[in-house]
Structure formats: C-alpha cells, structure tokens
Chain A
Amino acid sequence: MDTRKLVCTVCPNSCGITVELNEKAEAVRVLGNKCPRGEAFARQEITCPVRVITSTALLRCEDGREALLPVRSSEAFALSKHARAMELLRHVTVRSPVRMGDIIIRNLLDTGVDLIASCDS
C-alpha cells in the first residue's frame, strides 16, 4: 500500500499526518492527526490542494494618490488556479474608501470564493 506523509497546516500544532492510499490513489486511512480538521485537510490535500491567496490590488485614493490595498480570498481555493487569479488581479483598480471585508472580485474564477479587502483604506 502506498502512503503519503503530510504536515497539517490547519493550526500551529503542525501534526505529521500519514495517509494510506489504495491503488486508485484514494485515501483509505489518515493517521497522526490530533483533530478531525487534520483528517479533512489530508483528504483535501491528496485530491486537490487548496490555499487562501493573499496579494495586493492597486488602490486609487480620494486625493488621486495611488497605494496598494492588501486583499485575500474569502476561503481557500484550488492552488492550481492561483496563477490565473494573480493575472486577473494585475488589472484591478479599487477606489478608496474601502472597508475590511468589502468584496473586490465576486466569485473569483468561478470558484465560488470572493476576493476581499484585508483592511480599511
């Protein structure tokens, strides 16, 4: 039986997890996690790794000045789509004022996840 070793990144405990895989590379058993979140993480990680993306968007302030607004995805989404999300973000300009949590891009790349502002501007 194949196994894969992972480190859980859900919380700072950083549990070392071993996933036992069957011949179709599906998770049969998850070992080493201290909590149920670890099991869910491991199953997700071997099928389709997901991460929160964080970057910046160009912000046009009320006085005309340009600055950067830190942004994030509201949830984790497929890592394989992150490069395309970055490309999209390069062409976005946000107008001040913005509040933390305001949606900058709705339903980013049809992932169902929004890109939101990380702080007030």
Chain B
Amino acid sequence: MNKLQFDVVVIGGGPAGMGAALKAQENGASVALVERNPRLGGILLQCIHSGFGLRLFKKELTGPEYAQRFINRLKDTGVKVFLSTMVLRITPDREVVCMNETGITVIHAKAVVLAMGCRERTRGEIKIPGDRCAGVMTAGQAQHYINIDNFCPGRRFVILGSGDIGLIMARRLSLEGMKVEGVYELMPYPNGLVRNLKNCLEDFGIPLHLSTTVSRVIGKNGRVSAVEVTKVDDRQRPLEGTSEIVPCDTLLLSVGLVPENELSLGAGVRLNPRTNGAAVDDSLQTSVPGVFSCGNVLHVHDLADNVTMEAERAGESAAAYAKGVRGESTADLKIHCEEPIGYTVPSVIRSREKTSVMFRVRRPCDRARLTVISAGEVLLRGKPRRYIPSIMEELILTPAVLQKAEGEITMKIESV
C-alpha cells in the first residue's frame, strides 16, 4: 500500500475540483487532485453546448472549452493529478483512501476539498407508475450516449421536467434528427434558465406543458411505447379526466439533481437537509475541521462559472487551513432564512470579512424585496425585483454590515 502526503487533497476533477486545486496551489499548498474518470473535466465533457464562461471569461464557451482552459492551466502547475482513481473512503482525520490500477494508495491530507458533484434523480426517486420497460433514462444519461458514446438512445422522445439538462437535450435530439414530442413540467413555471427555454424549445417549436406530469409508462415488447400525461392542480395532485396518451419510445427525466455526499458522510460531515450538501461556514468548511466543500456536491448550481468561483474560495480556505492559518475567533452568526428562501450557503458566518451568501427561492416572486435583519435592526434592504427558483442569487455582506450583526441574521423576501 502506497502512502503519500499533501497539504490539500481535492476529490473530483470537474469544474469545482479543478478550480479548487488551482487556487490552493496558487496559495502555496502542495495539491493532489483525484478523479475517477480517465480524463479531467467531469460533466463539462458531455455538455458540448455553449453558454459557459459568460461571467468568468466574458465569452460564450462550450463545456469542453471551459474544461480545457482549466486542464491547460493545471498542466503548467505542480498539482499532482490522479486519473482513473476512485476514492473509497475519507476518514475524519483526513486520510483519503484511493484505488486505481496500481492498487490502494492512502493520501494523508492537511486539508480536504470535497468536489464530487451531483447525480440526477431517477424514475425510482419520483416513483412514476407503469411498466418497467427499457427506454426510461435520465437526460444526462442520454447526453452521454449521444455526445460521448455515439449511440442513438431512441427515435421519439418525451421529456419530463424542464430542468436545464432536459431543455438542452430537447435541442440536441432535434438537431440530430430525432423527434421530441414535448417537455412536461409538474410545476406551473419552468425550471430551466430563460435562455434555454428560448434557444432549446422555441427555436425548434417544441411545446412546453406546465402543470402536467407523466402519470404512467406504457411498454410493449419490453420497450416504452407511450406515456400517459396528466394535468395537475395547484398542489400538484393529478386532475381526473385530463389524461392523454403520448406515443414515444423514450422517456427522458430531467427532474432534479442530488449532491453526491456518500464520501462526505463517511468522513463524518454533517449535511444541511435543505441542500442535501454539507453545512458550511463562510470559508466553506464543513462540520469536520479541515474538510471543505464546493460546487454541486455542496449545493446544486445552475452556472459552471459560479461553481468555479465557489471552488476558488474553498481552495483558498483549504490552503490557509493546511498552513495552520486560523481565522480570528469571533462569535458565530447563524443565517436564518424565511420562506420563500429555500436555503443559504453558507449557513453560518465565522469571520467578519466580506462574504457572499448564495441562496435560492422555492417559488417565483414577481416583485419582492430582500431584507436582512439582525437583533431587531434592518441591516440591508434590497430594491424590489423578481426572484425565480431557477436562478441562484448572491448576497454580498460587507464587513460594515457584519459588524452590526449579533447572534443570528435573518433573510426575508417579501412581496411588494
């Protein structure tokens, strides 16, 4: 068994892992990056569409181009990259147990950055009744078949869920000459970015059916032959007498993403039930000292650029931790968020330095105002504007605001 030692070990070689590794190295740490696939890039490699890098590079890049920029930068650094290497376990004292063709390697890390990304929700998780036949798959699975494997997963598609991957696949399938019957969304509003609704559905004349879901899968000779779709009421209950049969041979699911935290749990990291990712402070440190989290394993993002920026913050924090730098110990400020805010990352603030707080609303608010309150005093009040669930929001808290806060910060969004 090999034994190695690094200041910072980053788990996962997607946009989060690459961003964190580069930043940690830039901050003087010795860094190992562990990736289970034979190539770096993570999910970006199959996201061949453009729309990446608008915020970070002021350019519209494709997923592979966005990844290549970081891969190229990594080549010029001393970051030790382990490919085709699976992390089996992370212990609470930061022993990272890896396996690859050479056998088992244990890397001792002064700090660990979790960057394992997320998984798609499957049919089992949303419990669609009906036949258990071939032809039901997640949108990302179909994306891998088409963009990486050169397989054609079907001819006639129905897409359930208006998440971004589903929308992007609707366009991809149409371009490749396949038929997309429609996109069905349970909620009364679309779940993907506006740009994707326009460029992926409108451009190809693909209908979007809101407040409608797939209520049954119908198979014939072991393959999907149709799905039954049904309208739902404002509490997402099926409306009797509204069902329709839509013939198709493949059902794609784009029904949400779940952070992949098995390794984190093994290390003793406490999760935030609102995000299914680690509960973190403003340095993105988890409940286990020296273990940091970023990207989609922390909370599901809609833009890779935001993943990179978050990852850089985690990489910087991890490098500082490895060097023994500990922030000044100040009283914790807990962030409490009220409906319709679904969650905040971080959920607790330890420093009094400028901090960005990411959050997402659970339902659309057409004209609403964000208020930040602490100890009965209004610290910040935003301008009235629109908030929607498909866009992650960022609140910047300045040192001046944080100095005034005590004990707990409450964030509210109220309609005006």
A residues bordering B, Cβ < 8 Å?
7, 9, 11-12, 14, 49, 51-56, 58, 66-68, 70-72, 79, 82-83, 86, 100, 118-120
Contacts and interface: CB of A to CB of B under 8 A. Distances in A.
A17 B108 CA distance: 54
Given A52-B50, A54-B48, A55-B175, A14 B194 contact: yes
Given A12-B193, A52-B50, A79-B203, A118 B64 contact: yes
Given A12-B303, A54-B48, A100 B195 contact: no
Given A11-B54, A70-B48, A70-B64, 10 more contacts: A7-B194, A7-B197, A9-B195, A11-B55, A51-B199, A72-B50, A72-B62, A100-B65, A118-B62, A119-B67
Given A51-B203, A55-B48, A119 B64 contact: yes
A7 B62 contact: no
B86 to A, nearest CB: 23
B172 to A, nearest CB: 8
Contacts of B303: 12
Q: Which 3 A-B pairs have the closest CB atoms?
A: A119-B64, A70-B48, A9-B195
B148 A86 contact: no
Pick the most buried of A49, A55, A83: most chain B CB atoms within 10 A of its CB: A55
Contacts of A49: 203
Contacts of A68: 147-150
Interface residues of A, dominant DSSP: mixed
A9 B202 CA distance: 13
B240 interface: no
Interface residues of B, number: 31
B48 A7 contact: no
Contacts of A52: 50, 60
B176 A86 contact: yes
B65 A12 contact: no
Interface string B48-63: 1110001100001011
B198 interface: yes
A14 B147 contact: no
In this complex, the member of B63, B71, B175, B197 whose beta carbon has the largest number of chain A beta carbons within 10 angstroms is: B175
A15 B177 CA distance: 31
B194 A100 contact: no
Contact of B198 (A7, A72, A83): A7
Interface in B64-106: 64-65, 67-68, 71
A14 B55 CA distance: 13
A38 B194 CA distance: 15
A118 B48 contact: yes
Contacts of B63: 70, 118
B253 to A, nearest CB: 23
B50 A14 contact: no
28 contacts: A7-B194, A7-B197, A11-B55, A12-B55, A12-B303, A14-B194, A14-B195, A52-B60, A54-B50, A54-B62, A56-B48, A56-B147, A58-B150, A66-B150, A68-B148, A68-B149, A68-B150, A72-B62, A82-B175, A86-B177, A100-B64, A100-B68, A118-B62, A118-B65, A119-B45, A119-B64, A119-B68, A120-B68
